[in-house]
């Protein structure tokens, strides 16, 4: 039987050899960082992490985020060696291993639970998808905010339900990405003492040594952000690592950065090889040298000593199970003492809604002047947040414009001095806001974030990850068209709608009036595994008379017949989303007066319309009607699928201009008369 220190080294070397063997067998991957950081993750998991491998989703577990996702074999090795169990989407513990040895043997191969980068929902124990560098650490800030908010909201005397910590392992690439700087700045400002980033300072990137592009003093930068910074001079020094992590545990007033100096991708001792660090196996000869230096059987692959598995079971396994069982026992008592909070906690974890969550929703009477989409949405959002305690969010410094401030009594502002507030202030940090929203959602808070539609470009990488991870983040984008007016083309979105619609799994909704906005919010709130983008107008839009036009409940189908020709046999279809639906309604009235049979179709969500059965889609857009006009103050890209190859698409083929809204509409042809002219041309051509 190995003694304590030799057992620790055996465990570290098992992580290393599994990593190098998996990469070699796949002939693809990044072995260097996994080998160099093995002592760091061993120390963290075995000595500190409060995590139960038997229940990797219990609510108060510590989170471990591998922001250097290319070193994925670090995490897969740990998930296998600690015996993490797989959990399905319905939170039923399946009991099977999350990562089997066969999965590791099939690293980076089809259907393996060990893809090239860790993927949330694919491999249990992976807390977030961390493909692009910087995303993982930025997401970890959202997890830390969620932990602090949940502690303030749920904890009561004698019942500490939430006190988890968030650890993120990052590297030079993370430090160079702008999103990490945005997130670190906010984390320091908020004094998130439950957050610890461990920085692998190896001075190597894909192109070579970091001195070519990166020479800043990271420690000083983070101290200026308000972080506690400590350093470990050798990644192999377990006692110094232990001391640094205990420093984090003792720090109560700020986040902690632990800088760990390492040499990447060494096989034989003291050897450096930057090619092996990024995307290339070590090679059989180098692996044999490395295993020889570890005292490992040189010709044996994927060796897992039984004593290593038992060692982890007695460390992180026993500690985590004890804490998990204590938590659930405490929850049963908590639910008895605080039934309403107990119910909230359970519903939040299951992504369920409160009973009667929609009871306070407003309805809007017909109004030819109407109101702006952003204003209607603000009213709906506040009604929903009053009834859903874990709905929280904010904007990238634009809440007064996007109307996303929660204004009811008790909403408050989340800050260093007040963790209970539900209004978040992200500052002018759109990219970090998106990543932080992901972290909040992964922690089961229901988050929203807002900005102008043009700035969705700044959030796009995080939005894509929301969709990839299938998490219900809510994005609210206002100022949705050239209707922005005098701010000019830099602020007028053109291609953004098409780009959002192109993201698989993102539900994009551009409602036409206030009552469509109510219905859109209902849809958004019921989503459990999809993010949504609400796209709203800056300018006032008429509120349609629903006694004359179809119910706004049709939004749930993605597209619906708003008003139809007498007898329901139209000669021409008028299709639009958002504020342009009103143009089609006006054109419909003119055409009807001229005896032309038209149908107006409101199309707030292409994604939801495509999910309807073929019969419904045909009933809305009859294939026999070739005369079609689509209208949208955005790029025309994509509308041909509904307008057809011979239909007319009235949209934007250029950028906008700086002028009042009415002048812009006239210049670019967004008038009822132009819609009428296009419809008449279509009818003549079809006839």
pLDDT at 686: 86
- CA dist 638 to 366, 395, 499, Å? 32, 29, 10
Asked if 640 is an active-site residue, the reply is no
pLDDT at 512: 98
Q: How far is CA 47 from the centre of its chain?
A: 30
Of 377, 369, 376, 373, nearest to 542 (Cα)?
A: 369
Mean pLDDT along residues 285-306: 93
Q: What percent of the chain has pLDDT over 90?
A: 89
**455-490 per-position pLDDT tens digit:** 999 999 999 999 999 999 999 999 999 989 889 999
Report how far residue 629's alpha carbon sits from residue 623's, in angstroms, rounded to the nearest whole number.
14
Q: pLDDT class for 375, splitting at 50, 70, 90? A: very high
Q: Right CATH number for 367-542 from 3.90.470.20, 3.40.50.970, 3.20.20.450, 3.90.420.10? A: 3.40.50.970
Report how far residue 260's alpha carbon sits from residue 68's, in angstroms, rounded to the nearest whole number.
14
Q: 34-43, 80-89, 152-161: which has the minimum mean pLDDT?
A: 80-89
Q: Is 52 helix (H, G, I), strand (E, B) or coil?
A: coil
pLDDT at 271: 40
CB 257 within 8 A of CB 6: no
pLDDT at 169: 98
How many Cα neighbours within 13 Å face the side chain of 103? 25
pLDDT at 423: 98
CB 446 within 8 A of CB 352: no
pLDDT at 268: 38
Q: pLDDT class for 279, splitting at 50, 70, 90? A: low
pLDDT at 479: 96
Mean pLDDT along residues 142-151: 98
**202-230 per-position pLDDT tens digit:** 776 666 676 777 779 999 999 999 999 99
In three-state form (DSSP H/G/I as H, E/B as E, the rest C), the secondary structure along 491-520 is CCCCCHHHHHHCCCCCEEECCCCHHHHHHH
Q: 280-284, 310-314, 660-664: which has the minimum mean pLDDT?
A: 280-284
Q: pLDDT class for 274, splitting at 50, 70, 90? A: very low
Report how far residue 450's alpha carbon sits from residue 446's, in angstroms, rounded to the nearest whole number.
14
Report how far residue 243's alpha carbon sits from residue 246's, in angstroms, rounded to the nearest whole number.
5
Q: Mean pLDDT score of the chain, rounded to an integer?
A: 94
**44-93 per-position pLDDT tens digit:** 999 999 999 999 999 999 999 999 999 999 999 999 999 999 987 666 67
The reply to whether 367-542 shares the fold of 4-324 is yes
Catalogue the E-assigned strands of 416-546. 423-425, 446-452, 474-478, 507-509, 532-535, 540-543
In three-state form (DSSP H/G/I as H, E/B as E, the rest C), the secondary structure along 345-387 is HHHHHCCCCCCCCCCCCCCCCCEEEEEEHHHHHHHHHHHHHHH
Of 574, 580, 577, nearest to 600 (Cα)?
A: 574
Residue 237 in this model has a pLDDT that exceeds 80: yes
**251-268 per-position pLDDT tens digit:** 999 999 999 998 764 443
Q: pLDDT class for 5, splitting at 50, 70, 90? A: confident
Superfamily of segment(s) 4-324: Thiamin diphosphate (ThDP)-binding fold, Pyr/PP domains (3.40.50.970)
CB 461 within 8 A of CB 437: no
Q: Which of 286, 430, 516, 530 is catalytic?
A: 430
Residue 276 in this model has a pLDDT that exceeds 80: no
Residue 424 in this model has a pLDDT that exceeds 50: yes
Is domain 551-686 classified as CATH 2.60.40.420? no
Q: Is 602 helix (H, G, I), strand (E, B) or coil?
A: strand
Helix (H) or strand (E) holding 181: helix 178-190
Residue 628 in this model has a pLDDT that exceeds 90: yes
Q: 41-45, 272-276, 608-612: which has the minimum mean pLDDT?
A: 272-276
Domain map of the chain by residue range?
A: 4-324, 367-542, 551-686
Residue 631 β-bridge partners: 576, 650
Burial of 545 (0-12, 13-18, 19+ CB in 10 A): exposed
Report how far residue 479's alpha carbon sits from residue 28's, in angstroms, rounded to the nearest whole number.
45
């Amino acid at each position: 039987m190995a003694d304590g220190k030799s057992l620790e080294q055996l465990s570290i070397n098992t992580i290393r050899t599994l990593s190098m063997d998996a990469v070699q067998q796949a002939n693809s991957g990044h072995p260097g960082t996994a080998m160099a950081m093995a002592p760091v993750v061993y120390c963290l998991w075995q000595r500190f992490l409060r995590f139960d491998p038997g229940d990797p989703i219990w609510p108060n577990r510590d989170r471990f985020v591998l922001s250097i996702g290319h070193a994925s074999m670090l995490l897969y090795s740990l998930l296998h060696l600690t015996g993490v169990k797989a959990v399905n989407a319905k939170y039923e513990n399946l009991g099977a291993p999350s990562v089997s040895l066969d999965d590791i043997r099939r690293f980076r191969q089809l259907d393996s639970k060990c893809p090239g980068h860790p993927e949330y929902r694919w491999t249990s124990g992976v807390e977030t998808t961390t493909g692009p560098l910087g995303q993982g650490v930025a997401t970890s800030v959202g997890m830390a905010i969620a932990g602090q908010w949940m502690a303030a909201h749920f904890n009561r005397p004698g019942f500490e339900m939430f006190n988890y910590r968030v650890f993120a392992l990052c590297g030079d690439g993370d430090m160079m990405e702008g999103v990490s700087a945005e997130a670190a700045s906010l984390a320091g400002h908020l004094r998130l003492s439950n957050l610890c980033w461990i920085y692998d300072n190896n001075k190597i990137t894909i192109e070579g040594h970091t001195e070519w592009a990166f020479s800043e003093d990271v420690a000083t930068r983070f101290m200026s952000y308000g972080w506690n910074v400590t350093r470990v001079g050798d990644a192999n020094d377990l006692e110094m690592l232990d001391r640094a992590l205990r420093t984090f545990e003792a720090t109560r007033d700020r986040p902690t950065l632990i800088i760990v100096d390492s040499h990447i991708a060494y096989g034989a001792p003291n050897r450096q090889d930057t090619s092996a660090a990024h995307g290339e196996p070590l090679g059989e000869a180098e692996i044999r040298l490395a295993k020889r230096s570890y005292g490992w059987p040189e010709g044996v692959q994927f060796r897992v000593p039984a004593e290593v598995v038992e060692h982890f079971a007695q460390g992180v396994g026993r500690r985590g199970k004890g804490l998990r069982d204590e938590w659930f026992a405490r929850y049963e008592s908590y639910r008895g003492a605080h039934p309403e909070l107990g119910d909230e906690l359970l519903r939040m974890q299951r992504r369920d809604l409160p009973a009667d969550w929609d009871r306070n929703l407003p309805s809007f009477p017909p109004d030819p002047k109407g109101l702006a989409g952003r204003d209607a949405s603000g009213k709906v959002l506040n009604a929903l947040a009053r009834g859903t305690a874990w709905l929280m969010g904010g904007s990238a410094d634009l809440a007064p414009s996007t109307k996303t401030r929660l204004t009811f009594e008790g909403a408050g502002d989340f800050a260093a001095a007040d963790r209970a507030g539900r209004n978040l202030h992200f500052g002018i940090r759109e990219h970090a806001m998106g990543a932080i929203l992901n972290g909040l959602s992964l922690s089961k808070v229901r988050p929203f974030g807002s900005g102008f539609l043009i700035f969705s470009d700044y959030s796009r990488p995080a939005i894509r990850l929301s969709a990839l991870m299938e998490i219900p983040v809510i994005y609210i984008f206002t100022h949705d068209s050239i209707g922005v007016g005098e701010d000019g083309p830099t602020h007028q979105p053109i291609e953004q709608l098409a780009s959002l619609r192109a993201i698989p799994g993102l539900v994009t909704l551009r409602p036409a009036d206030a009552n469509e906005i109510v219905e859109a919010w209902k849809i958004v709130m019921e989503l459990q595994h999809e993010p949504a983008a609400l796209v709203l107008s800056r300018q006032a839009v008429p509120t349609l008379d629903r006694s004359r036009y179809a119910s706004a409940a049709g939004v749930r189908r993605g597209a619906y017949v708003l008003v139809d020709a007498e007898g329901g046999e139209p000669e021409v279809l008028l299709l639009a989303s958002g504020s342009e639906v009103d143009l089609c309604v006006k054109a419909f009235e003119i055409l009807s007066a001229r005896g032309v049979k038209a149908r107006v179709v409101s199309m707030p969500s292409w994604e939801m319309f495509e999910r309807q059965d073929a019969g419904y889609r045909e009933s809305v857009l009859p294939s026999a009607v070739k005369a079609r006009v689509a209208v949208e103050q955005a790029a025309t890209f994509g509308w041909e699928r509904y307008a057809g190859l011979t239909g007319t698409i009235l949209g934007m083929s250029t950028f906008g201009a700086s002028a009042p809204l009415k002048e812009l509409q006239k210049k670019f042809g967004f008038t009822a008369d132009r819609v009428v002219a296009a419809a008449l041309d279509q009818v003549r051509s079809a006839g």
